[in-house]
Amino acid sequence: NCAVQMLIKFGEPDRAEKLCSNVKDSDLNKLCTLIKIHTINEHPTEASKLFHKIINEKIPLDLSTSISFIYACARIGLISVCERVVQK
H runs (alpha helix) in the chain: 2-9, 13-20, 28-40, 44-56, 63-76, 79-87
- Measured torsion, CA atoms of residues 38, 42, 8, 64, in degrees rounded to the nearest 10: -50
Segment 20-56, tens digit of pLDDT: 766 555 577 777 778 777 777 777 788 778 877 877 8
Contacts with 72 (C-beta within 8 Å, 6 or more apart), sequence order: 35, 38, 39, 44, 47, 48, 51
pLDDT of residue 5: 73
Report which residue type is found at 26: S
Q: Which residue has the higher pLDDT, 59 or 81?
A: 59
CA distance 78 to 76: 6
- Cα–Cα distance, 43 to 66 (Å, whole number): 17
User: How much is the pLDDT for 67?
Assistant: 81
